[in-house]
Structure 1
Amino acid sequence: MLMVDGRVQAEFLKMCIPHPRMSKAHRIYDNLRQMKILAPNKPQRCACLFAPTQSGKSKTVETYIETQIVDELIAEGLFPPDMDRDEIVKQQRRALYVTLDGAATVKSAVSDILLEFKDPRATLGTATSLLGRVYDYMRRCGTQILFLDEIQHLDDRQTEKDKKPKRAAMYESTAVTDTLKTMLIRGLVPIVFIGVDDAESMILGDPQLSARCVSKIEFESLRDDVPEERDIFLDYCGMLGIKLHQHGLFDEASNLIEGDLPAVIHRVASGRLGMASNLIAAACSIAREQRAPRVLREHVSGAIDEWAIPMGHIDYNPLAQGLRDYERRAA
């Protein structure tokens, strides 16, 4: 059984590996904010980021706030340059990152936003009164963009075990999306909707929201038969091996692009960068327990056996049994 290494998990949480898709997403966030700045009282636009879990969706937002937003705030003199950057992230309200609670209603969604403003009465009052407080906070704090994560929670109560729609839940979900549309129309703030693939229809299936969507940000699983996407994955694995050394986890950099390792990591992770990191984090735990100077092939193999297979991410070990024929051809 895999022994979790707290140091490894902590360093992976702090780790950031930029890649082309992340950079493109950040440019879209910049453009949405520019619309807000140049036309503050006009109806705002939205963007969507839908992808499988562990694709790096949340990481791209966190990195944007930790870098672009924090740098701006320091440059404008709103925070001292020697202040802890994590503390600036907590205190700033220019970019609001909200994770929706399960089974979201209008009131709970608005309460989630108020919690990010540290409102002590975030859950007290009617949905209408809470929404009024959100409007007030955003105007007073100069909020320029709202990131709404786990948007699929708008759909949590729409289906029962037999997958048949519940009328009350469908009404509640529609009420939430109508509230979000109103926020856009009133020019309050641009919104980036973030969620798993299944959530796409909730946003883009609404004619008014889809008409206001300026971009569907590409963040799907990277395909190994598309050269550009394969290169992104290879570069990510290469940098990940270097980061393990830079973050003090090992004495030497790890070569994660040697031989068939990239193809195997890709297969286990199904092309998801976040899942690839999770696999290597497990390999790090094994390597550090063995006091190895770097992560080796054998440690990745152990991570597949002790973590990936038990967690249901794959049902065999490609390093021990070889990539199956169709996977070998794709690699």
Structure 2
Amino acid sequence: MTLTTKTTSDSGESPQDSGGNGDRGAAPFLDLACGDGASLLIETARIRHKRWDNIIRKLEYCRTWSKGATDPYCMMVLGESGTGKSAVVAAYMQRHKVSEEEEGQRIPVLKVDAPAVPTMKSLAESMLFALGDPLADKGTLNARTDRLIRLLKRCGVEIIIVDEFQHFLEHESAKSLQSTSDWLKNLITQSRLPVVLVGLEKCGKILESYPQLDRRFMAQAYLKPFRWHEAKREEFFHFLSELDDQLPLREKSGLSDPEMAQRLFFASKGLVSSLMKIVRQGAHIAIELNEPRITAKSLSKAYKLTTARRIKPDPFLGPLPEIDETWGKMQVILTNPPFNTSVKSKVAPKQAA
């Protein structure tokens, strides 16, 4: 399939831009018949925002300032599920891609996921496999570690990122976790490379009990959900506007319009992962229906397809929810609720009598 983009004049405007009717201006759109190409653009859309940029800067600091250091600069990236931790790591890896050189592959950023049932041997195996070792699953822990140290140097690795690190905290005993702590410490010391642990917020608290790791991972960066209170709302609007610009549709969908943004915030609870799933699915539906933009009806269908624990009434077709954040929780009160009743999100704090 071929991708059909807008043609532009010398002034930079396309014929569609000059009409001023909400048509696309910032990004090319696809002929809606090109489903495969459109799907690819929808699924690969990545939106940078301040939180990501701050963490990427810190990752880059660890990578560059650890070169030649006897005590590499390590850190943790923490946040609740759905806040975009893995997406930030993916964006960082795009800056430092694997390259083919005469000596073999150069892998500046080695990223692995902690195994679902983690052990030191399985983590070493994951790293060896990512470095292309055909015998990744062979040998004792000491033998695997020795090979790993050699391959890290041979592949030009400059930073190691371990995602989903909470698996170690969830499955290992205190004794096993102490052994893992010692192994990671030795890996950092022998390789002289920075290690970044990515996981849920509870990782930071639990590691306080393990001085060997806690001392090395004192630098911690947090990814929080978007907030709705007035001081932070503009960040959410900006994210939606950037996302709208990247969608391969004929017209902008008005995602950052105040009412639509309010509905999207309610449906996603401010979580980047939930928001992206809803909007991406809404864009797919719009293309299937040959519609020029995402509509509230498309988002309603997308919400039902992507959200297991849905809140009623429908956040996109029902009354406009009024959102009040209290003590970090999200409380939703519907304006003009049907039958004179109110609906609150399940994460809302209890009201005082």
TM-score (norm 2): 0.75
CA distance in 1, matches of 2:160, 2:197: 9
1:18 paired to 2:48: yes
Corresponding residue for residue 317 of structure 1: 314
Corresponding residue for residue 21 of structure 2: none
Instruction: Mark the CA change 1:189 to 1:293 in structure 2 (over 3 Å): closer, same or farther.
Output: same
CA distance in 1, matches of 2:212, 2:180: 14
Could you give the per-residue CA deviations for residues 222-252 of structure 1, whole angstroms, max 9, x where no partner exists? 2212623x2222111111111003xxxx222
Identity of paired residues, percent? Answer: 21
CA distance in 2, matches of 1:45, 1:186: 14
What root-mean-square deviation, in Å, do the aligned CA atoms of Structure 1 and Structure 2 show?
2.7
Aligned with residue 231 of structure 1, among 229, 234, 237: 234
CA distance in 2, matches of 1:201, 1:138: 30
Residue identity matched to 1:312 = R
CA distance in 2, matches of 1:315, 1:206: 44
Residues 28-47 of structure 1 mapped to structure 2, 5 A cutoff: 28-39=58-69, 42-47=70-75
Segments ≥4 residues shifted beyond 4 Å: 5-9, 327-331
Corresponding residue for residue 84 of structure 1: none
Task: Say whether the 8 Å CA contact 2:131–2:155 is kept in structure 1.
Answer: no
Could you give the per-residue CA deviations for residues 152-209 of structure 1, whole angstroms, max 9, x where no partner exists? 1113424xxxxxxxxxx33223222221122223452101111122333343442232
Instruction: Mark the CA change 1:259 to 1:232 in structure 2 (over 3 Å): closer, same or farther.
Output: closer
CA distance in 1, matches of 2:246, 2:213: 40
1:287 paired to 2:290: no
Corresponding residue for residue 191 of structure 1: 195
Q: Which has the higher contact order (CA 8 A, sep 6+)?
A: 1
CA distance in 1, matches of 2:79, 2:109: 22
Could you give the per-residue CA deviations for residues 33-79 of structure 1, whole angstroms, max 9, x where no partner exists? 1222142xx02231111112221111111111212x24xx88xxx76
TM-score (norm 1): 0.80
The CA deviation at 1:96 is 0.6
**Alignment size in residue pairs:** 293
Could you give the per-residue CA deviations for residues 3-62 of structure 1, whole angstroms, max 9, x where no partner exists? xx87665434422211111111111111111222142xx022311111122211111111
Higher strand share: 2
CA distance in 1, matches of 2:306, 2:188: 43
Query: Where does the alignment leave 5 or more consecutive residues of structure 1 unmatched?
Result: 81-89, 159-168
Task: Say whether the 8 Å CA contact 1:45–1:214 is kept in structure 2.
Answer: no
Aligned with residue 212 of structure 1, among 212, 216, 230: 216
Could you give the per-residue CA deviations for residues 67-121 of structure 1, whole angstroms, max 9, x where no partner exists? 2x24xx88xxx769xxxxxxxxx95411111111112001001111111101111
CA distance in 1, matches of 2:314, 2:229: 21
Aligned with residue 140 of structure 2, among 109, 117, 126: 126
Residue identity matched to 1:98 = V
